[in-house]
Structures are given as structure tokens and as C-alpha cells.
Structure 1
Amino acid sequence: MTYTGEVRVGGPADVHELKDLMITKIAVGPMDNNAYLLRCRATDEQLLIDAANEAETLLGMIGDDGIASVVTTHQHGDHWQALAAVVAATGARTYAGREDAPGIPVPTDVLVNDGDVITVGRVELTARHLVGHTPGSIALVYDDPHGHPHVFTGDCLFPGGPGRTTNPGDFTSLMDGLEEKIFGPLPDETWIYPGHGNDTTLGAERPQIASWRTRGW
């Protein structure tokens, strides 16, 4: 079946099958958060992005193979409600942006800086530190050697605009980071997996950048 990225709370997961990586997307309540399970096809090692909520749902998706690591994209509570339970059940290493880790009530094993590489089996994900939605949000970039890039943006980029900010300085910082680290170096075909809602591509969003700047959110 063709991957769409359209999932709903209580519904089935959707699986994006790439040559080296399998990406499983699922939605959990009550805030319609997305969680992503990445599986290296060469080694079967798994990594979870955002143990948002519904630990039983996430552990069911993870299955008996477990996970080696779990990355929390940022410190907002709706993105880590199931983290303690998932870590307790799997023994996974925890990763989070250096600036946001103090706001996550589960100890962070690895503090992530801009440009750091996080591996899942033989697959490499490059972290991009984006300041504005929170001080230490991170996006994860998978530069697929067999195709276009894939980016897990947390709450920093959605279809239709950047994530929520609380003041003009934070908005400018987030937009500057998105343009420098995401839109600038990556092509239109880049697939975007956000923290809530449907997926998008950089090509679909790029023409709107000027209007986002003008409206200020």
C-alpha cells in the first residue's frame, strides 16, 4: 500500500518503506501527537521518535524486538508522557536537545547538539537544533542515499507554517533556523514528518515562507 502519513488516534499505523529504513507513523491521544518508529532494514535495530503518550500503543508498535533508543524532539509535555514507561520496558537510551533536556522529567542519556549524528543500525540521522518553539528543539534529517531526504521536525514545522512561538524574537529565530538548516540545504522533494497532523514536503511549503514572515506566526 502507498504511504500517505494520514493517521488518526485509535487507528492503524502507516508504514513508509524505504530501501534502508522503515518508518512507522502512529497517532496517540489526547493531543493527536505523532510518534515514529524507525527500523534499520539491515540490522533490525529500532529507534522511537517522541514517546508522546499511550505507552501500551507504542510498545505494541515496537514489538518484541524492542528499541535501542528514543529521541524526544523537545521538552513540551505532550511529547514525553509515555517516555518513562517506554524506557522502563525497553531499556532504551534517551536522546534530547541539550537545552531542552532539563525540562524533560526522564533522565537524558545523550545530550544532542546541532550537527550530531544519531544512528539506528547502519542508518544515520543528523540533528538540527532549532530555537524558537523551545530553546532546544531538534529536527532529525535522514539523507537517504537512494532518494530524497526525510526530516522529522517535531513541532518546528507543519503543513502551513512553523510551530507556535510566544514572541516575535522566538518566531524570527525559528524562521531563521528553518531557512538556514532545513529549507536552505534540502531539496523540494524532502519529506517532512511533523509532531502532529499530516506530512508535507519542503516543496509544498517553500512558496509560503515570505507570507509566514509577513504574518509573524
Structure 2
Amino acid sequence: MLVVGFPVGAFQANCYVLAPGRGQHCVVVDPGQDALDGIAEQLSEHELTPAGVLLTHGHFDHVYSAEQVCREHGVPAWIHPDDRYMLTDPAAGIGPMGQQLLGDLSAWPAPPEVREIADGDVIEAAGLRFDVTHSPGHTGGSVLFGAGTDEGGRLVLAGDTLFAGAIGRTDMPGGDHGQMLRTLAERVLPMDDEVVVLPGHGPTTTIGRERAENPFLQGLATPDGSAS
């Protein structure tokens, strides 16, 4: 599997491009601010053709360029229904303080085709399969996209649910810290240590590393009653 990630925009959100290999179809994950040049560079370098856009949640720094990518390539975007409203009302997801910091965020059009996803869904696109896990906490519609690799391993596109050494903030509209802790305990900690985490910001990590070192995971009990 070909996996390329690069930070974009003022908040350095990670945009990812995944494909079975060079010269094939691909999916674009979280095309945020100023992502278009980076996406075009990867498409050209690896001779890729987009088949769809996956959105881990609706915050503008992860969806800013989704409409243009979808429109230019004639592909759908997948997002959880609880975050769909932010595709056309980005200011609603950041609250008054964020709006003051960033200035006017005018509404913009949603991608031409938006497909809603739910917990347990499987998305098949570009010859790849992604398992959808609803992971509310950072936003109400945050999701994890899990996929197997050619080598037999697994990766998870975690959005802003889990970072290396941290988790996504929960103090913006739609955030819920208690729900985030439940998501971490019930959805994240049961994953195998070897699962590679591709987060929405910052460097790649693994579930095992975060289980051992991430202070936000310490002391959380998994559904079987064991503690991290």
C-alpha cells in the first residue's frame, strides 16, 4: 500500500493520500487548508487518480479543500452525518473565540456528492477497504478509518481523536470530554499494539506506544475491565 501524508494550512493538519500502489486509484483523507498543491504533487509523482475523499470529522482545517477536490475529480466525500453541517457552515464548528481568531469564515458549498457513514460501515474505494468506527468526543461525528496493509498489518486514520502523546481538544462546539474518554477506552485501547496511527496532526505513532506513554490513556479501563 502506498501511504503519503503531509501537513497543510495554518494548523498543520495532516492530509493523506492512500493507494494500492503507483499508477492506480487513490483516496484523499482530510484535504484541509492549502492542500491542493500538495495533493496535486502526490497525484503527479505517483501517477494516481482520486476515487474519493474520506473525512475524519468536519472541522475546517480538515475539510477546507474537500469540495474542490471532489468537484475537480468527480468523486464523492464520505463523512459522518453528525458533522455534515460543517461542510457548509465551517464557523459553526469552532465557536466564537475561534471565529475571532480566524476572522470571517464564509459559508461555502459542500462537495457535489456527500455520502454519510455510520459505525461499522465498510467503505470500498480505490481498491482499498476502510472500516468505519464512530469516535465522538472531539466532535460528535468524528470517525476512525481502519485499513489492512499488504504486509498483514493495520493502520488507523485517527483524525483528531488520538495524537502522539495527546488527544484532540474537546472544548469546541460538539466536543465532549467524557465522551472522548469513553471513545478512547472502548474504541482505541482494544486495538492491537502494532496498529499504526496516522493522526490528524503531528507524527505517526502506534497504539502500543500511546498505550504506554500517552497520559490521556493512563488508567482508562477497556470494555473487558483491564486498565491501560
Q: Same fold (TM over 0.5)?
A: yes
- By how many angstroms is 1:143 displaced? 2.9
Which residue identity is paired with 1:87?
Answer: C
Greater strand percent: which structure? 1
Instruction: Name segments (4+ residues, structure 1) moved above 4 Å.
Output: 208-214
Rounded to whole Å, the distance in 2 between the matches of 1:170 and 1:143 is: 30
For residue 15 of structure 2, what is the amino acid of its counterpart?
A
Unaligned runs of 5+ in 1: 1-20
1:113 aligns with 118
Paired residue for 1:102? 85
Which of 49, 53, 68 aligns to 1:85? It is: 68
Alignment pair present for 1:47 and 2:27: yes
The TM-score with structure 1 as length reference comes to 0.80
Q: Structure 1 residue 172 and structure 2 residue 183: aligned?
A: no
- The whole-number CA distance in structure 1 between the counterparts of 2:150 and 2:41 is 30
Give the distance between the partners of 2:179 and 2:145, measured in 1 at CA. Answer: 18
Distance 2:48 2:128 in 1: 17
Sequence identity (%): 28
- Consecutive unaligned residues in structure 2, runs of 5 or more: 89-109, 220-228
The answer (yes or no) to whether the contact 2:170–2:177 under 8 Å persists in 1 is yes
Match of 1:140 among 142, 145, 170: 145
| Distance in 2, Cα, partners of 1:59 & 1:92 | 15
Over the aligned positions, Cα root-mean-square deviation in angstroms equals 2.3
TM-score by length of 2: 0.76
Superimposed CA distance per residue, residues 140-161 of structure 1 (whole angstroms, 9 cap, x where no aligned partner): 0113363321000001100112
The one-letter code of the counterpart of 2:25 is E
Query: 1:73 Cα deviation (Å)?
Result: 1.1
